[in-house]
Structure 1
Amino acid sequence: MAKVQKRTFSLSEEQAGFIDRKVASGDYVSGSEVIREGLRAMQERDAAIEKWLREEVVPAIQQYEADPSSARPAEVFFEELLAEEIADAPKRKRA
């Protein structure tokens, strides 16, 4: 296990109660374990956002900068998105 560093934090009553309930339910052994799980989830979320920015957003911007005529007006994009949602609605009801 990695070296452990002790820290002190202030929590709202609601946050402290949430931690206490998680430990009392047996889902976690300690409050520290609850906090570590939350930090891992934040790290995963941040990594996913970073990957999305790097792999999808930056290339899209670069494509637009190389050829601005490839862009679609926002109205067209949203009309297409709405049409896709409407077409997919019956599929979601069956699932």
Structure 2
Amino acid sequence: MATMNVSLPDEMRSYVESQVATGYFANASDFVRHLIRMDSEEGRGRLRELIAEGDRGGISDLTFDEIIAQARESKKSRAA
């Protein structure tokens, strides 16, 4: 298993330690692995929602280039 060092502010370190102290997690690494799994599952769940939304939406009248242009514009507006 690979090793990774992570720097945390004192408040976050205390939180991690408190989670380990509950006994649910064996150590800080176990807690971080849990968080990563949860984040990954949430991302997959969101992707499933978006796919289902697309399936319900039917066929678009837009061309591929128009769809790409809309996606780029949406990305720009979110970044602003």
TM-score w.r.t. the length of structure 2 is 0.66
Deviation string, structure 1 residues 30-75 (Cα, Å, up to 9, x no partner): 000000000010011000011111122x2244x2625xxxxxxxxx
Structure 2: give runs of 5+ residues left out of the alignment.
62-80
**Aligned-pair Cα RMSD in Å:** 1.6
State the alpha-carbon separation in 2 of the partners of residues 60 and 25 from structure 1: 44
State the alpha-carbon separation in 2 of the partners of residues 20 and 59 from structure 1: 44
Whether 1:65 and 2:65 are equivalent positions in the alignment is no
State the alpha-carbon separation in 2 of the partners of residues 25 and 60 from structure 1: 44
One-letter amino acid of the structure 2 residue matched with residue 65 of structure 1: S
Query: Which protein has greater RCO, CA pairs closer than 8 Å, 6+ apart?
Result: 2
Larger Rg: 1
TM-score w.r.t. the length of structure 1 is 0.57
Count of paired positions: 61
Structure 1: give runs of 5+ residues left out of the alignment.
67-95
